[in-house]
């Protein structure tokens, strides 16, 4: 998923962020800086990171009236070393300063997601396993955070509850069992996946023709056995639950097709980027 800054959800997220921070005006800049004063600002990486969200900068400034010049010196998905300049902007000093925090908040948060995503992808390199993200995202920022995860090399799972069927343990309980739940989704054109938590549920799901299985909270040894059984029946598998950077390689070695990691979005720490203003 590329950074599509034209998407209405993205534009609305940026608009809300600017309104939240600036409100009726940046009173400090208005009090201390002449209205016509021009300046140049540069965005720098202050640690090694995978950049994400840099394409939002033109939108940030556009929504506040624009700038004289903006150059993006890197792209989302690009690894950056400490000290690298990733963007330069020129325009009214007041405008650059009123947009500074919003721009940095997006860059730091989204680059944090991309940086952590790349660590998970690198941890399973050579195994053939695909890392998936989840719906464990910041409310209102899912599309942006999934774009950032993709920039880090993770494959986006479903965007929401509408674009795929994922039958989880509570659905199974409410439907009356694995077979009943699968019977109810027969004929759908949407992708179907079912979560199984016991060996009995695994066998029942396979007997009912399930072709994509979510195997949750297993040890690597258990997962290897269940994955082998599922593959022999022609199903693909996804592992989740209790998987960290420290143990993901062991889970990848089970031969599973996918591993989903909510930590990519819900546990990503903001990375360090800063903005330095220079008078023109």
Note the maximum CA span of the chain.
74
Q: How far apart are CA 267 and CA 149, in angstroms?
A: 12
Please count the other Cβ atoms lying within 10 Å of the Cβ belonging to residue 31: 7
pLDDT at 217 over 90: yes
Q: How far apart are CA 88 and CA 71, in angstroms?
A: 5
Nearest to 226 by CA among 198, 268, 261: 198
Q: Which residues contact 254 (CB under 8 A, 6 or more apart)?
A: 220, 223, 224, 227, 239
pLDDT at 2 over 90: no
pLDDT at 52 over 90: yes
Query: Tokens 């066998």 — which residue?
Result: 203
Q: How far apart are CA 261 and CA 248, in angstroms?
A: 10
Q: Which domains does the chain have, with CATH numbers?
A: 8-118+268-279 (3.90.1170.20), 155-260 (3.20.20.70)
- Are the C-beta atoms of residues 148 and 106 closer than 8 Å to each other? no
The predicted structure's pLDDT at residue 141: 97
Asked about 94 being catalytic, the answer comes back as no
The chain-wide mean pLDDT, for the chain, equals 97
pLDDT, average across residues 56-64: 98
pTM score of the predicted model: 0.95
Catalytic member of 195, 201, 204, 238: 195
Quote the Cα angle for 222-225-228, to 5°.
145
Catalytic member of 136, 179, 197, 211: 136
Residue 229 CA: distances (Å) to CA of 90, 158, 169, 180, 236: 60, 25, 20, 22, 10
pLDDT per position as a tens digit, 61-109: 999 999 999 999 999 999 999 999 999 999 999 999 999 999 999 999 9
Confidence of residue 280 (pLDDT cuts 50, 70, 90): low
Catalytic member of 216, 225, 249, 272: 216
Q: What token pair was written down for 198?
A: 């016991």
Would residue 82 be called left, alpha or beta, if left means φ above 0 and alpha means ψ between -120 and 50 degrees?
A: beta
- Are the C-beta atoms of residues 43 and 85 closer than 8 Å to each other? yes
Confidence of residue 27 (pLDDT cuts 50, 70, 90): very high
Catalytic member of 168, 184, 197, 211: 168
- Are the C-beta atoms of residues 98 and 79 closer than 8 Å to each other? no
Q: How far apart are CA 241 and CA 134, in angstroms?
A: 12
- Are the C-beta atoms of residues 85 and 42 closer than 8 Å to each other? yes
The predicted structure's pLDDT at residue 3: 82
Confidence of residue 279 (pLDDT cuts 50, 70, 90): confident
H/E stretch holding 240: strand 236-240
The predicted structure's pLDDT at residue 1: 53
Confidence of residue 268 (pLDDT cuts 50, 70, 90): very high
Asked about 136 being catalytic, the answer comes back as yes
Nearest to 223 by CA among 248, 245, 246: 248
Asked about 122 being catalytic, the answer comes back as no
Query: Tokens 């500074």 — which residue?
Result: 100
The SS3 of residue 261 is coil
Burial 220-258 (b: 16+ CB within 10 A, else e): beebbebbebbeebebebbbbeebeeeebeebbebebbb
Catalytic member of 11, 38, 42, 101: 101
């Amino acid at each position: 998923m590329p950074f599509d800054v034209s998407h209405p959800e993205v534009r609305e997220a940026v608009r809300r962020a600017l309104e939240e921070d600036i409100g009726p005006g940046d009173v400090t800049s208005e009090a201390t800086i002449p209205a016509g004063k021009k300046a140049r600002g540069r965005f720098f990486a202050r640690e090694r990171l995978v950049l994400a969200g840099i394409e939002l900068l033109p939108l940030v400034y556009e929504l506040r009236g624009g700038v004289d010049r903006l150059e993006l010196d890197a792209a989302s998905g690009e690894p950056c070393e400490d000290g690298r300049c990733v963007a330069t902007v020129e325009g009214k000093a007041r405008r650059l300063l009123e947009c500074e925090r919003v721009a940095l908040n997006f860059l730091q948060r989204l680059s944090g997601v991309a940086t952590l995503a790349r660590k998970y992808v690198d941890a399973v390199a050579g195994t053939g396993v695909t890392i998936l993200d989840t719906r464990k995202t910041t409310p209102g920022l899912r599309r942006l955070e999934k774009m950032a995860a993709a920039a880090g090399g993770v494959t986006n799972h479903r965007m929401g509850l509408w674009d795929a069927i994922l039958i989880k343990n509570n659905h199974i309980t409410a439907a009356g069992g694995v077979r009943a739940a699968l019977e109810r989704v027969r004929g759908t054109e949407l992708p179907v996946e079912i979560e199984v938590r016991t060996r009995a549920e695994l066998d029942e799901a396979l007997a009912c023709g399930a072709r994509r299985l979510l195997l949750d909270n297993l040890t690597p040894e258990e997962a290897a056995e269940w994955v082998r059984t599922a593959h022999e029946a022609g199903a693909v598998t996804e592992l989740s639950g209790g998987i960290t950077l420290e143990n993901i390689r062991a889970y990848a070695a089970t031969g599973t097709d996918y591993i989903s990691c909510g930590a990519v979005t819900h546990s990503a720490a903001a990375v360090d980027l800063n903005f330095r203003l220079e008078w023109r």
